[in-house]
Amino acid sequence: MSLARNLTGLAAGLLVTGAVAATPALADPVDTAQASSTPSEVSAQDVSPTIIDGREVDSAPWAARLFVDDQQTCSASIIAPEWILTAQHCVADATDGNGLSFNIGDVDQSKGEHADAVPGEVHIHDAADVAVVKIDHAVQTDYAPLGDPGTVGTGDTVQTYGWGATCTDRPEIECQSQILKVADVNVTAVNGDCTDYRGGKAICAQYGDGIPAGGDSGGPMFAGDTQVGVASTSDRASNTAYVNITQYRDWISSIAGV
């Protein structure tokens, strides 16, 4: 995964499917998330698609792969029986909920329990790259527990998860990981000048044994067993930025009750 582009897509910038700048990490076709460890911006061309390096995961019952019109786009987590947490840029093209779906609870993105978004129940924060989505039925699994302010700090080593791109030499949509991956990253800043794709409070980090890329957008950052971030941007080489969800707990709770 990388910082400058959105992590959601294979498009430049965000982590949607696909560097230190403010580009999302989406998976090309739809993905637009961005992750970065600094407030500097990087052009869309600098962003790459999935967790680069890192390692595959054996079990992640809280994991959710996000699809828009059946196209793999972003990563996400389930935080309550009927609620998914992801990045705003991952759902920007499906804010009414139509065409938005998830595979939940399996490390293989093609498996897990399938759920569709409830039309009209895609909730987007007005100033941060974070969204909460209601699904059409309750899923029984282990939900991602959310951290509180102070759960993560500068100098910590944390884990980032996603199905994003594993290459930087071709379109990120062509190298989305079939199996969920995890990478250790080192926290360089919390809040302060560290911001997400939309200027919200963020956790910035540097490459440890891997980095997010396109398609990792919306995926979780964990400090120990607790989720503290949502993938926003990455430069796919050195730096990434995650929405600091510990700063938005009241908003999340007002919608999802957790």
Full-model pTM: 0.86
Residue 245: give its domain's CATH number. 2.40.10.120
More confident residue, 62 or 22: 62
Under a CB-based contact definition with an 8 Å cutoff, are residues 63 and 111 in contact? no
Confidence at 68, pLDDT banded by 50, 70, 90: very high
| Secondary structure E strands in the chain | 7-8, 15-17, 25-27, 52-53, 55-56, 63-68, 71-80, 83-86, 100-104, 113-124, 131-135, 157-162, 181-195, 201-207, 210-211, 220-223, 226-234, 239-244
Mean pLDDT, residues 17-31? 42
Task: Print the domain residue range for 126.
Answer: 1-258
- Mean pLDDT for the chain overall: 86
Query: For the ranges 6-15, 228-237, 240-249, which has the lowest average pLDDT?
Result: 6-15
Note the pLDDT tens digit of each residue in 32-61.
333 333 322 222 233 333 488 999 999 999
- Counting the structural domains of the chain, the total is 1
